[in-house]
Amino acid sequence: MIYSVMGVSGAGKTTVGRALAQALGCDFLEGDSLHPPANVDKMAHGIPLDDADRAPWLAAIRLRLEAAARAGQTLVVACSALKQRYRDQLDHGLDVRWVYLRGDPAMLHERLQERQGHYMKANMLASQLADLEEPSPRSALIVDAALPVPSIVAQVLASH
């Protein structure tokens, strides 16, 4: 089983993903770790990524999902997956359970302002929100990102 924790920056994908992986006793993949250096550099300089920038990153994540599926492993991945076509590319032919961390823009902005040492700055949130195509409740578990992490993990575990 593959769980993909998605949403814009500041929603808590990494924190929730790590906690979910720990609860499931499986590996966690930080999708951002697979960004090519050019993408990280762009974001660090406040330049939003476009579809062409995201293509190699999504392909790298897809390879990791395929490897986990082939090995019969449970995996939790944190990945923004902002657009439906990204999610379609990532989960095509695989059993992926999407968990969408939906957050109030003001709360997300505040979280990003408080974040230290990350290349994704608060001024980039607007571009992510503009690109975001929210998944439907039929295709993803939609969770309030403001909830405590243990509550979010409990909702995910109870939903499957």
Q: Over the stretch 115-129, which tens digit does the pLDDT of each residue have?
A: 555 555 556 777 788
Per-residue pLDDT of 126-145, as tens digits, reads: 778 888 999 999 999 999 99
Distances (CA, A) of 135 to 67, 93, 112: 25, 18, 23
Contact 27, 21 (CB under 8 A): yes
Residue 85 has pLDDT above 60, yes or no: yes
CA-based max dimension of the chain: 41
Place of tokens 């999610």: 87
Residue 109 has pLDDT above 90, yes or no: no
- Angle at CA of residue 59, ends 56 and 64, nearest 5°: 130
d(CA 13, CA 148): 13
Contact 76, 152 (CB under 8 A): no
Could you tell me what percent of the chain has a pLDDT over 90? 69
What domains does the chain contain, in order, with CATH numbers?
A: 2-74+84-104+119-147 (3.40.50.300)
Mean pLDDT lowest for which of 13-22, 129-138, 144-153?
129-138
Contact 115, 21 (CB under 8 A): no
Residue 49: DSSP 8-state:
P
**pTM of the predicted model, to two decimals?**
0.90
Residue burial 107-125, b: 16+ Cβ < 10 Å; e: rest? ebbebbeeeeeebbebebb
Helices and strands of the chain, counted as H and E runs: 7, 5
